[in-house]
């Protein structure tokens, strides 16, 4: 990575975004999940972005994008397109900034997410497929003079999401395999980009983190892009994980993934349901299917971990439709515990990992509890 290349965001860009947004957002917890760690053979942590404001990581990028608007742009108002989480994030950020917000959502978006975006103050427009919704948002932006906020293919959005990676790095004592759900690629570009800019990725024999992406089998835009060597559009998507059903990989996001991400793997809807069931019954944690994708990848062996290697699954969102949770409990495979450890103990549930006290008095997961 050439730090002087203006095509790449610098460490200062990620830190500036963090400074702009940190006062208004949660520093989400990193919780140990010994149940899953017993299967992977090493410590597993959950980065709980499902507990972030508006219920997902999306607010980090949306608030940063909103914060850098000039007075003319604020006066014009903003428009975006989203299956739900980005819509809620933009609505919340716009209300905080006193800016008009219009969100265009595909017809298949969860009613609960559309209702939440409206409750945060956005004008909600429901329109066609995901691809058609993008077109409608662009048309309205031009016709009404609104500022189009891209949900993922934007440097300001990527900058905002970088804080997820930086917080993980600060809260761990050792390098980890960081597993990130991928839709259009905004979050994984931010996580990998921020870690790379800070010199915290494994590279050229230097120890550091590795980053992996996870997509649904029914919406593999980034995987196909990597295979083709360029950003690709999908003709259609078919997955229960609406938050990962972007019809294309972002151009900026693709560049970051191709440069800094070890691999992007695929999981099935059934596997995401199984991960949701595990999180509900053993972690006592509510996620949506897209939020559970990273756990699914670890559960079903998609991530090549070294013996004893630490892994972090980013729970990217928790805005789950109740009907989807019922399906997960019915259709997800029940968990089968590994054999008890030699001392007779068994792994169960997440716990706040013990460790050092941060300067602000927050407990950080420096140490790990015995399994």
- What's the whole-number mean pLDDT along residues 10-25? 97
pLDDT at 364 over 50: no
Residue with tokens 């997955």: 239
Q: Work out whether the CA dihedral 17, 23, 26, 30 comes out positive or negative.
A: positive
Are 306 and 202 spatial neighbours (Cβ–Cβ below 8 Å)? no
Indicate if 316 belongs to the active site. Answer: yes
Are 351 and 29 spatial neighbours (Cβ–Cβ below 8 Å)? no
Q: Please state the separation of Cα 365 from the chain's center in Å.
A: 20
Whole-number Cα distances in Å, 316 to 243, 287, 361: 9, 8, 25
| Cβ-based burial of 296 (10 A; exposed 0-12, middle 13-18, buried ≥19) | buried
Domain residue ranges of the chain, discontinuous segments joined by +: 11-57+155-344, 58-148
CATH number assigned to the domain covering 11-57+155-344: 3.40.50.1100
Mean pLDDT of the chain: 90
pLDDT tens digits along 301-329: 999 999 999 999 999 999 999 999 999 99
Residue 83's pLDDT band, with cuts at 50, 70 and 90, is: confident
pLDDT at 370 over 80: no
Task: Check 47, 58, 154, 225 and give the catalytic one.
Answer: 58
Residue 233's pLDDT band, with cuts at 50, 70 and 90, is: very high
What pLDDT was estimated at residue 351? 39
pLDDT tens digits along 235-291: 999 999 999 999 999 999 999 999 999 999 999 999 999 999 999 999 999 999 999
Residue 330's pLDDT band, with cuts at 50, 70 and 90, is: very high
Residue 340's pLDDT band, with cuts at 50, 70 and 90, is: low
Residue 109's pLDDT band, with cuts at 50, 70 and 90, is: confident
Task: Check 32, 225, 274, 316 and give the catalytic one.
Answer: 316
- What's the whole-number mean pLDDT along residues 101-108? 94
pTM: 0.90
Q: How far is residue 281's CA from residue 209's CA, in Å, rounded to a whole number?
A: 29
**Same fold flag, 11-57+155-344 and 58-148:** yes
- What's the whole-number mean pLDDT along residues 20-46? 97
What pLDDT was estimated at residue 143? 96
What pLDDT was estimated at residue 94? 96
Indicate if 58 belongs to the active site. Answer: yes
What pLDDT was estimated at residue 367? 38
- What's the whole-number mean pLDDT along residues 41-54? 98
What pLDDT was estimated at residue 110? 86
Residue among 339, 268, 355, 25 at smallest CA distance from 161: 25
What pLDDT was estimated at residue 266? 98
What pLDDT was estimated at residue 339? 58
150 versus 352: the higher-pLDDT residue is: 150
Of 210-224, 266-280, 344-358, the poorest mean pLDDT is in 344-358
What pLDDT was estimated at residue 183? 96
Q: Does domain 58-148 have CATH number 3.30.70.360?
A: no
């Amino acid at each position: 990575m050439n730090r002087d290349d203006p095509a790449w965001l610098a460490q200062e860009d990620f830190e500036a975004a963090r400074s702009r947004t940190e006062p208004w957002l949660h520093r989400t917890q990193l919780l140990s999940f010994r149940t899953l760690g017993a299967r992977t053979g090493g410590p597993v942590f959950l980065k709980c972005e499902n507990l972030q404001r508006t219920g997902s990581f999306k607010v980090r990028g949306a608030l940063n994008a909103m914060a850098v608007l000039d007075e003319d742009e604020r006066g014009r108002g903003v428009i975006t397109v989203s299956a739900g989480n980005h819509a809620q994030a933009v609505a919340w950020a716009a209300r905080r900034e006193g800016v008009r917000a219009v969100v265009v959502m595909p017809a298949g978006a969860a009613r609960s997410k559309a209702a939440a975006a409206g409750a945060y103050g956005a004008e909600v427009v429901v329109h066609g497929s995901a691809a058609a919704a993008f077109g409608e948002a662009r048309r309205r932006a031009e016709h009404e003079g609104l500022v189009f906020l891209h949900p993922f293919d934007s440097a300001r959005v990527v900058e905002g999401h970088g804080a997820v990676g930086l917080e993980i790095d600060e809260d761990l004592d050792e390098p980890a395999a960081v597993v990130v759900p991928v839709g259009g690629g905004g979050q994984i570009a931010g996580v990998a980009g921020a870690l790379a800019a800070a010199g915290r990725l494994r590279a050229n024999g230097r120890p550091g983190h590795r980053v992996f992406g996870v997509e649904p089998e029914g919406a593999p835009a980034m995987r196909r892009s990597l295979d083709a060597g360029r950003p690709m559009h999908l003709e259609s998507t078919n997955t229960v994980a609406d938050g990962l059903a972007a019809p294309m990989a972002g151009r900026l996001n693709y560049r970051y993934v191709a440069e800094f991400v070890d691999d992007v793997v695929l999981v099935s809807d059934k596997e995401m349901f199984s991960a949701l069931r595990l999180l509900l019954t053993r972690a006592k944690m509510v996620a949506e299917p897209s939020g559970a994708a990273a756990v699914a990848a670890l559960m079903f062996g998609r991530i090549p971990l070294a013996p004893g290697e630490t892994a972090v699954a980013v729970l990217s969102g928790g805005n789950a439709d109740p009907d989807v949770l019922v399906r997960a409990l019915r259709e997800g495979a029940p968990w089968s515990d590994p054999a008890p450890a030699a001392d007779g103990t068994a792994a169960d549930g997440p716990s706040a990992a013990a460790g050092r006290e941060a300067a602000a008095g927050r407990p950080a997961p420096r140490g790990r509890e015995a399994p």
